[in-house]
Amino acid sequence: MLAFIVNRLLRSIIVLFLVSVVTFTFMQLVPGGPFSADAGGRPRSPEVQAKLEAQYGLDRPPVEQYLTYMTGLLTRFDLGPSLRQKDFSVNELMFGTNFWADPLHVPVTVSAQVGLLSFTLAVLVGIPLGVIAAAYRNRLPDYAATLAATLGISIPNFVLGLMLILIFALGLGWLPVYGWGDNWKQTILPVVTLGTGGMAFIARLTRASLLETLGADYVRTARAKGLRENAVLFRHALRNALIPVVTVLGPLLAAWLTGTFLVEHVFAIPGIGRFFVTAVFDRDYSLIMAAILLYSVVLVLANLAVDITYGFLDPRIRFD
């Protein structure tokens, strides 16, 4: 098991290295730069641009820039200065100016909270919904669950967010319109907004996968030896049916933990989702790199967690 984890992490380092190289190359190729316009959007003169680029080392050869960045990151966990938000380092933008004083209210952890709560909601409702649909195949509960799930994957989360705000915040006044971390009521709308799509997706996948396993020989054997339907369903079929479901949970968790631009935008949540969009518009190279690397690292860890979960679901899967 330990050898498996170490092996996987070593291989992941290669993937992370390639991701950083591709990102860096791509940023060199994309036209425009962080200093081509000033804060008001007016174009800067070439002299000023050159001076700013020199100040941030962007005039150095690309390989040297890359090595400088990577050295800083790996030796000091220094993600470099933000090229567009003067006076802020990327570390400060993502982890706050004083992370340890209040670690739960900095952008990275705010996004992670939104993501983790939504993920929990999606899994805790999505899987049972899929199980109910499969257990009552082609009967009323199945039709209701399938319809709900198809609706759920078809409604974009920004549309759902706007609807929920209209009804529960502006209309009924039960819940706040925006914000995060001041009181628990602020968590409900964003988490439902983000969680619904994933919940519906998980429900559809669980249903499909469970129906497939319910047709397998070992399930027929289990039934033939007189096991009650519940025991067949939960002890024999569901464990195996969950393997494809768990597979998609890795990327889903990674995407949600690292912030969702539109949900954070709609509910004015101070997370890191916005960096994935604004940094690209701004050509804020160091912030783009940090966002992509953060996502990749979380993805690697989430996929590792998925692989370890396989072992619990199916004892035939061994880590050697």
Partner 1 sequence: MESRLAPAREGAGDDLPDAPTGLWREAWRRLLRNRVAVIAGLYILLITLAATFAPLVTPYERDAPDFDHTRAAPSIEHPFGTDPLGRDVLTRIIYGGRVSLGVAFVGALTSMAIGLTYGAVSGYLGGWVDDLMMRFVDVMYGFPMLLFIILTMLVIPPNSGTGLIMVGLFAAIGLVSWPGMARLVRGQFLSLREQDFVVAARALGAKPVRIITRYLIPNSLGPIIVALTLSIPSLILTESTLSFIGLGVKNPVPSWGGMLADGWRAMRADPHLAVFPALAITVTMLAFNFFGDGLRDALDPTLRGRG
User: What is the contact surface with partner 1 in residues (CB under 8 A)?
Assistant: 15-16, 18-19, 22-23, 26-27, 29-32, 137-138, 142, 150-151, 153-156, 158-159, 162-163, 166, 170, 204-205, 207-208, 211-212, 251, 255, 258, 261-262, 276-277, 280-281, 283, 288, 291-292, 295-296, 299-300
| Shorter beta-carbon distance to partner 1: residue 232 or 291 | 291
Q: Which is nearer to partner 1, 124 or 163 (CB)?
A: 163
| Cβ-Cβ contacts under 8 Å for 32 (sequence gap 6 or more) | 283
Q: What is the DSSP string of 27-66?
A: HHHSSS-TTSB-TTSPBPPHHHHHHHHHHTTTTS-HHHHH
Reduced to 3 states, what is the DSSP secondary structure of residue 237?
helix
User: Minimum CB separation from partner 1 for residue 102, in Å?
Assistant: 27
Q: Which is nearer to partner 1, 105 or 265 (CB)?
A: 265
3 state SS of 97 = coil
Q: Toward partner 1, which CB reaches closer, 53 or 212?
A: 212
Q: Which is nearer to partner 1, 211 or 227 (CB)?
A: 211
Q: How far is the CB of 226 from partner 1 (least distance, A)?
A: 27
CB of 166 to partner 1, least distance (A): 7
Q: How far is the CB of 184 from partner 1 (least distance, A)?
A: 26
Report the SS3 class of residue 89. strand
Q: Which is nearer to partner 1, 1 or 30 (CB)?
A: 30
Say how far apart CA 302 and CA 318 lie, in whole Å: 19
Q: How far is the CB of 15 from partner 1 (least distance, A)?
A: 6
CA 243 – CA 313 distance, rounded (Å)? 7
Provide the β-strand partners of residue 89.
81
Distance CA 273, CA 113 (A): 12
Q: Report the alpha-carbon distance of residue 40 to residue 37 in Å, rounded.
A: 8
Nearest approach, Cβ of residue 153 and partner 1 (Å): 6
Give the integer Cα–Cα distance in Å for 87 and 102. Answer: 21
Ramachandran quadrant class, 266 (left: phi over 0; alpha: psi -120 to 50; beta: rest): alpha
Closest to partner 1 by CB, 19 vs 232, is: 19
- Bridge partners of residue 37, in order along the sequence: 43
Q: Which amino acid is at 314?
A: D
For residue 256, give both structure tokens. 């949600």
CB 171 → partner 1: shortest distance, Å? Answer: 10
